[in-house]
Amino acid sequence: NAGVTQTPKFRILKIGQSMTLQCAQDMNHNYMYWYRQDPGMGLKLIYYSVGAGITDKGEVPNGYNVSRSTTEDFPLRLELAAPSQTSVYFCASGEGTGYEQYFGPGTRLTVT
């Protein structure tokens, strides 16, 4: 089992550019999540999904979009990159209420 995989590991974007952060899991989890971690801070939830075709906003969704067409994949889209989106992005998956979440290794994004 690869667990939760994320690509790319690092990316530098110019202001206004767009990109998609990829996330895949092979544990057949229905629940998937995107978090961001700013320096010295805890993780904050951007978007989550409780199953294919179902997504919902988390605490900090502005500037991001998601889709969930399959159980395995949960890409995060940044449409117009801004310096405030410089952060480390973590994808996670889990079995739902009362269960832990498994995290990917993260994508470090810098917007300049």
Ranges within 2-61 binding other proteins (CB under 8 A): 4, 31, 33, 35, 40-45, 48, 50, 56, 58-59
CB of 35 to other proteins, least distance (A): 8
Q: Residue 51's beta-bridge partner residues?
A: 54
Establish if 97 lies at the interface with other proteins (CB under 8 A). Answer: yes
Establish if 106 lies at the interface with other proteins (CB under 8 A). Answer: yes
Establish if 64 lies at the interface with other proteins (CB under 8 A). Answer: no
Return the H-helix or E-strand segment holding 91. Answer: strand 87-94
Establish if 90 lies at the interface with other proteins (CB under 8 A). Answer: yes
CB within 8 A of 107, min separation 6: which ones? 6, 7, 8, 9, 10, 11, 21, 88, 89
CB within 8 A of 9, min separation 6: which ones? 105, 106, 107, 108
Contacts with other proteins by CB under 8 A lie at 4, 31, 33, 35, 40-45, 48, 50, 56, 58-59, 90, 92, 94, 96-106
